[in-house]
Structure 1
Amino acid sequence: MMVLQKIHSLILVSLLTMLGLGLVQLSYGQNAMYQRFLRQHVDPSNRGGTNSYCDSTMRSRGMTTSTCKNVNTFIHESIQKIKNICNTPKVRCKNGRMNCHRGQARVTDCNKTGGSPPNCRYRARGSTRRIVIACSGNPKVPVHFDK
């Protein structure tokens, strides 16, 4: 019994030491940001590009509940293609951090034109253009749409 307690104590001390050194990553925060990124920005099954697409998708994704989100971009690519952007060279994000990456994607940009929650109205602009996303974790996953 005493040996078992010593082993548990040693394992606990080792784990806490690795956490303190940053060798073990707690992934809950990263996973929550990744899930939010998917909800707000990824729609591979649709080509988007219309005002009604923006109106209905912004509503169904919860971005018009209490306020109308002014601007949002939906990426119409597979999540694997979006994750691959995280493997491109790092570029500076708008906030100055160096965890952004650039890639090409089909997108729909939605810009608020009026209405009030939950019936916000948007103008859509579909295009294929360069996007910049912030990535985090190991392996890297997208966590923020920068531009």
Structure 2
Amino acid sequence: MALQQTQVFLLFLLLSLLGLGLVQPSYGQDRMYQRFLRQHVDPDETGGNDGYCNLMMQRRKMTSHQCKHFNTFIHEDLWNIRSICTTNIQFQNGRMNCHEGVEMVTDCRETGSSRAPNCRYRAKASTTRMCVLSCFGHV
């Protein structure tokens, strides 16, 4: 249960970063948005296996200096991800500022026994509910 809550929080954080790219970005926001896309969006694949994680983590430059311990790839195109921002729901703070959607994802977790740049990962594919805290006025 704690692992699932951690994953939901990480997805919430990732999509909050995506929200930064939904406005006309400053240079810093644009860099964060581009990093988010590179590390987390893969609309052309369904993922789901260890080979996918091993390849994508290396291809997306998350194994160069050290093995990134955990990463989530979202298997939806950017427009589907952005469509989360069409409906407000109440968030934990009681305000109507959370936007929720269901997305297909692959979680890649480093095995703990590999060394960069030859990092090895275990994959877990799932359909996950995500919440974006703010879409920064994008509807």
- Same-fold call, TM cutoff 0.5: yes
Instruction: Describe how 1:82-101 pairs up with structure 2 within 5 A.
Output: 82-89=81-88, 91=91, 101=99
Flag the 1:136–1:33 CA change in 2: closer, same or farther, 3 A.
farther
Q: Distance in 1 between matches of 2:57 and 2:97?
A: 27
The answer (yes or no) to whether the contact 1:101–1:134 under 8 Å persists in 2 is: yes
Structure 2, unmatched stretches of 5+, are: 1-23
Letter of the 1:117 partner, please give it. Answer: A
Letter of the 1:87 partner, please give it. Answer: T
- Indicate the residue corresponding to 1:143 in structure 2: none
For residue 89 of structure 1, report the CA deviation from its aligned partner: 2.2
Over aligned residue pairs, what C-alpha RMSD do you find? 2.5
Letter of the 2:100 partner, please give it. Answer: R
What is the DSSP-based 3-state SS (H/G/I as helix, E as strand, rest coil) of the residue aligned with 1:54?
helix
- Indicate the residue corresponding to 1:27 in structure 2: 26
The answer (yes or no) to whether the contact 1:41–1:73 under 8 Å persists in 2 is: yes
Higher relative CO (Cα under 8 Å, sequence separation at least 6) belongs to: 2
Q: Which structure would you say has the larger Rg?
A: 1
Q: Distance in 2 between matches of 1:37 and 1:135?
A: 16
Flag the 1:40–1:26 CA change in 2: closer, same or farther, 3 A.
closer
TM-score after normalising by structure 1: 0.66
Runs of 4+ in 1 over 2 A off after TM superposition: 86-93, 98-102, 131-140
Among all aligned residue pairs of Structure 1 and Structure 2, give the percentage whose two residues are the same amino acid. Answer: 51
Structure 1, unmatched stretches of 5+, are: 1-24, 141-147
Q: Distance in 2 between matches of 1:116 and 1:109?
A: 19
- Indicate the residue corresponding to 2:101 in structure 1: 103
- Indicate the residue corresponding to 1:47 in structure 2: 46
What is the DSSP-based 3-state SS (H/G/I as helix, E as strand, rest coil) of the residue aligned with 2:34?
helix
- Indicate the residue corresponding to 1:38 in structure 2: 37
What is the DSSP-based 3-state SS (H/G/I as helix, E as strand, rest coil) of the residue aligned with 1:55?
helix
For residue 86 of structure 1, report the CA deviation from its aligned partner: 3.0
Structure with higher strand content = 1
Greater shift in the superposed pair: 29-38 or 73-82: 29-38
The answer (yes or no) to whether the contact 1:30–1:136 under 8 Å persists in 2 is: no
